[in-house]
Each structure stands twice: as C-alpha cells, then as structure tokens.
C-alpha cells in the first residue's frame, strides 16, 4: 500500500482494501454532501462551515445540538467525504459510537479498547459523546480528547447533545474550555429534521 501525504497532515492512500467508510453505521450510510445541502432547514452559513472543515480538516470540531437536528447525519457526510477524497483505510480513520462503551460497561466489562482506539486513531468521529450521563466514562473520554488535542496530527470530529456550558456544568471543564477557547464548535438549530422528514 502506497501513501502520499497531503497539505493538511492526514495521509492519503493510493490502495486500500478496507475503506474507513465501512465503519459508518448502517442508519447513516446514505449521508452525503448533496443530501445535507438539500436539508433546507439548515442555515446556509452552517452548511458552509461544515464544507470548509471538510476541505481542511484539522484539530477538533464539535457539532452540538438537540436530538434529531442533523449532527450525526452531517458528521457521517463529512467523514465520508474526507475518507473518500484520501482513500483512508480503517487503521487510519474510524467512526466510533460512544454508546458502545456504555453498552460494554453495562455488562460489567471495562471498555478500555474503545478508549485506546479513540486515543490513537489519526482521524476519528466520536458520535454521541457524553450522550448518557455516565460519570465513569466521562473522565475517560475527557482524557482521550485532551490527549488528541496535544497531537496536531490527529483530527477529531465530535457530535454531542451537550453545549460547552452543559459540559462545564457536568464537570467536563477541560474539554469545554478548550472547545470554547479555540472557537471550534458549531451549534445546530433547535429543530428535529427527522420528524420533519428532511433526514
């Protein structure tokens, strides 16, 4: 497998047997840039912000908003576009549902594998981060995100129902402070696109 570096740090692979897009959940497989653009309820400036990050994905971007507002769907479309443009394989990029760690803990195990993958992957989507009020995993996820902030080569896309203020109130002060200080949060409008049939 040959690799070519691009201008933003994420590698581009010329050959790939296991594309990273395979990790997108089935319910989000139809997401694409075209389908997001057709969601007329999303403000044009928000769509422009999402597209700009896809063109130059660096650091950490947090998509926040209520259930059904299009965060995960938008993230899936962004992830697909970034991975397909660079032909990224699964050992470079992954989609991770943070609900999985919660399920593992429910059965009495420690989801150390989830945290280790999230910490080391070059490009990762952390979908539904902090979606369940689970104090045991909150601090683990916070440590993962802060570790990723320290490595400029790593790219992170987060979706969460919590605003930075709500993160702060829940004790996730380091993440909330960093997200606000670097102005890398996009707030989605308070609408349910699923109920309206747009997504």
Q: Residues 82-103: what's their mean pLDDT?
A: 77
Determine the Cα angle at 156 with ends 104 and 75, to 5°: 85
CATH of the domain at 106: 3.40.50.300
For residue 111, pLDDT over 70 is answered with no
Question: Going along the chain, which residue ranges are E strands?
Answer: 3-5, 11-13, 60-64, 93-97, 123-127, 155-160, 185-187
Cα torsion 181, 176, 98, 26 to 10°: value is: -50
Question: End-to-end alpha-carbon separation of the chain, Å?
Answer: 36
Cβ atoms 106, 132 nearer than 8 A: no
- The 8-class DSSP code of residue 19 comes to B
Tell me if 157 is assigned to some domain.
Answer: yes
Distance separating alpha carbons of residues 44 and 137, to the nearest angstrom: 35
Q: Which two tokens stand for residue 44?
A: 């044009």
Helix (H) or strand (E) holding 165: helix 164-169
The per-residue pLDDT for 6 is: 47
pLDDT band at 133, cuts 50/70/90? low
Q: Is residue 19 part of a domain?
A: no
Structural domain includes residue 128: yes
What is the predicted pLDDT for the residue at 21? 74
Q: How far apart are CA 5 and CA 37, in angstroms?
A: 29
Does residue 97 or residue 3 have the better pLDDT? 97
* Res. 29: pLDDT tops 60: yes
Please report, rounded to a whole number, the percentage of residues in the chain having pLDDT higher than 90.
22
What domain range is 143 assigned to?
Answer: 30-196
Over residues 92-100, the mean pLDDT reads: 79
Of the listed ranges 15-29, 98-112, 136-150, the least confidently predicted one is: 98-112
- % pLDDT > 70, the chain: 74
- Tell me, yes or no, whether 191 lies in a domain: yes
More confident residue, 5 or 39: 39
State how beta strands 3-5 and 11-13 pair. Answer: antiparallel
How does residue 157 score in pLDDT terms, banded at 50, 70 and 90? very high
Of the pLDDT bands very low, low, confident and very high (cuts 50, 70, 90), residue 187 is: very high
pTM: 0.81
C-alpha distance from residue 189 to each of 70, 119, 148 (Å): 9, 30, 28
163/116: higher pLDDT: 163
Residue 1 lies in a domain: no
Residue 15, domain member (yes or no): no
Residue range 51-66, pLDDT digits in tens: 899 999 989 999 999 8
pLDDT at 101 over 70: no
The pLDDT assigned to 156 comes to: 94
Q: From 73, 75, 79, 179, select the one nearest 123 (Cα to Cα).
A: 79
In a domain? residue 18: no
Task: Give the span between the Cα atoms of 86 and 83, in whole angstroms.
Answer: 5
Assigned domain for 102 exists: yes
Match 């309820």 to its residue by tokens: 41
The total number of structural domains that make up the chain:
1
């Amino acid at each position: 497998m040959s690799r070519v570096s691009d201008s933003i740090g994420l590698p581009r692979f010329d050959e790939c047997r296991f594309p990273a897009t395979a990790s997108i959940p089935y319910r989000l497989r139809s997401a694409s840039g075209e389908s997001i653009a057709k969601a007329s309820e999303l403000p044009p400036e928000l769509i422009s912000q999402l597209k700009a990050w896809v063109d130059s994905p660096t650091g950490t971007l947090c998509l926040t908003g209520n259930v059904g507002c299009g965060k995960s769907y938008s993230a899936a479309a962004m992830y697909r576009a970034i991975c397909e443009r660079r032909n990224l394989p699964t050992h470079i990029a992954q989609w991770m549902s943070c609900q999985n760690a919660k399920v593992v803990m429910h059965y009495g195990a420690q989801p150390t594998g989830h945290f280790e993958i999230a910490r080391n992957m070059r490009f990762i989507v952390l979908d539904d981060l902090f979606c369940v009020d689970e104090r045991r995993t909150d601090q683990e996820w916070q440590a993962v995100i802060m570790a990723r902030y320290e490595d400029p080569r790593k790219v992170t896309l987060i979706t969460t129902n919590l605003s930075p203020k709500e993160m702060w109130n829940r004790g996730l002060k380091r993440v909330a402070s960093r997200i606000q200080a670097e102005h890398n949060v996009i707030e989605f409008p308070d609408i349910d696109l699923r109920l309206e049939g747009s997504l």
